[in-house]
Amino acid sequence: MNQKNSLAGIRHRLGQYGDNMHDRWLNTPGWQRWILYVALIIGALLLPSESIGGFMSPYTDWASILFFPIGTYVVLAIGLNVVVGQAGLLDLGFVAFYAVGGYAMALIGTKLGWNFWLILVVGIGICALSGITLGGPTLRLRGDYLAIVTLGFGEIIRITARNTDAIGGPNGIRGIPHPPSIDELNIFGVDVYELLGVKIFKYGVLDPRPYYYLLVALAVIVIILVKRWEKSRVGRAWAAIREDEDAAEVMGVPTFRFKMLAFAIGASIGGAMGVLWASKVISLNPNDFQFLLSATILAAVVMGGAGNLPGVMLGAFVVAWLPERFRGLQEYRMLIFGAVLVALMIFRPEGLLPSRQRKAELKEGTGGMGTLGAEVPGPESRGEEVASK
C-alpha cells in the first residue's frame, strides 16, 4: 500500500508540474512564443554538430541517425497523431502510407525521371487518395475492428510490393534519384548556400546533413499545418469524435467526413516522409516497411502523449534515440530500452507531455484516448475504486 501511495504521489507531483508549465505557457505573450519557436528551429539546425553527437551517439554517425530514425520517426509520429491522438482512430497500418510515398519516389524517379519536388507533390496526392481508399469502406468500423483492418492494409501493401515484379519484387528498386542540388543561392545579397561549413543544398550519398535540413523544413511546415487544423473547426470535430462519436453525430458533426479527412491528412504526412526518405537511401525493398515500424510509431505517440504535438515529438525522439545511444551494449540495449518504456508507463501512464484533455479522459477511465481507450481504467480511477471498496 505504501508503494502504491508513493507511486501515486510521484504521478501527482509530475502532473502538477506539467500543469504549472502549461499555465505559464498559456500566459506567455505571443512575441515571446515566436522567439522560442525560432530558437527551437535554430537549435534543430545546430543538432548535427559533432560536439553534440559525441554524447548523443558515441557508437554511430550522429548526423545519419538524426535523419533516420530520429527525424523520420518524428514526422511519422506527427502524421499518426492526427489519426490516433486527435481523431481517436486506431491505425496499425500507418507504415503503408510511408511505403506508398517511398515507392512513388522510386518508381516515378527511375521510370519517368521526374524532378524530386514534383514527385513530392504527386506522392502526397497519391497517399491522400490511398487514405481515402482505405477509409471509405473501413471507417464505419471502430476500435479493435478498425485496428485489424488497418493492420491488414499495411501487410497487403508490403506483400503486394514483394510479389509484384513490375515494381522490383523482393529485391526492391535501386538507383532512386536524389533531390536536385543547388550550386549557389543568394538571398538579399547573403550567401545561404553553406551553413556551418555544410553545403545544405548539395544532395549526395556521403553527407546526410543536407537531407536532415530538408527534413527540418518539412517538419516545420507539417507542424504549422497540423496546429492550424487542431485550432480550427476541424480540430474541434476530431476532439468530439474521439471523446464520443455517437454524441458528436447526434450534435450534427459529420463524423464520417471528418474521419476520412484525418486519414487523408495522416496518410499525406506519412507519404511525404516516404518520398524524402527514399530520395536519400537510393534503394528500397518491401522489408523496409514491416509492421514493427507501425507499432513503434504508435508507441511513440502514446508514450509522448497522444493528442499533444510537443509530447508526440518528444516520444518519437526518445523511442528512436535510446536504442542508438546504448548500441555499444549490444544485446542489452533493447533490454534497457524496454525497461525505460516500462518505467515511463508506470510513472507517466498518460505520456511524457500529455494534453489536459487526455489526462481528464485517463482519470475518467477511458484509457486516456477517448473511445480508443475502451473501458481501461486509469490509475486514479482504479485508486478511487479500491478506496470505495
Query: Which residue ranges make up each domain of the chain?
Result: 66-371
Q: Inform me whether the pLDDT recorded for 162 exceeds 70.
A: yes
**112, 117, 120, 121: CA torsion to nearest 10:** -100
Three state DSSP letters for the chain: CHHHHHHHHHHHHHHHHHHHHHHHHHCCCHHHHHHHHHHHHHHHHHCCCHHHHHHHCCCCCHHHHHHHHHHHHHHHHHHHHHHHHHCCCCCCCCHHHHHHHHHHHHHHHHHHCCCHHHHHHHHHHHHHHHHHHHHHHHCCCCHHHHHHHHHHHHHHHHHHHHHCHHHCHHHCECCCCCCCCCCCCEECCEECCEECCEECCCCCCCCCHHHHHHHHHHHHHHHHHHHHHHCCHHHHHHHHHHHCHHHHHHCCCCHHHHHHHHHHHHHHHHHHHHHHHHHHHCCECHHHHCHHHHHHHHHHHHHHCCCCHHHHHHHHHHHHHHHHHCHHHCCHHHHHHHHHHHHHHHHCCCCCCCCHHHHHHHHHCCCCECECCCCCCCHHHHHHHHHHC
Give the Cα separation of 86 and 66 in Å (integer): 26
Residue that wins the pLDDT comparison between 341 and 185:
341
pLDDT at 267: 97
Q: Inform me whether the pLDDT recorded for 66 exceeds 90.
A: yes
pLDDT at 1: 54
The answer for residues whose C-beta is within 8 angstroms of residue 359's C-beta and 6 or more apart is 15, 350, 368
Residue 122 contacts residue 108 (beta carbons within 8 Å): yes
Give the Cα separation of 252 and 12 in Å (integer): 37
Query: For the residues 366-384, what does the mean pLDDT come to?
Result: 49
- Rounded to the nearest integer, the mean pLDDT of the chain is 86
Domain 66-371 falls in which CATH fold? Answer: ABC transporter involved in vitamin B12 uptake, BtuC (1.10.3470)
Residue 343 binned pLDDT confidence (cut-offs 50, 70, 90)? confident
Q: Is the dihedral of CA 360, 363, 366, 368 positive or negative?
A: positive
> For the segment 287-319, what is each residue's pLDDT rounded down to a tens digit?
999 999 999 999 999 999 888 999 999 999 999
Give the Cα separation of 155 and 137 in Å (integer): 17
Q: Inform me whether the pLDDT recorded for 372 exceeds 60.
A: no
Q: Inform me whether the pLDDT recorded for 376 exceeds 50.
A: no
pTM of the model: 0.88
Give the Cα separation of 39 and 313 in Å (integer): 17
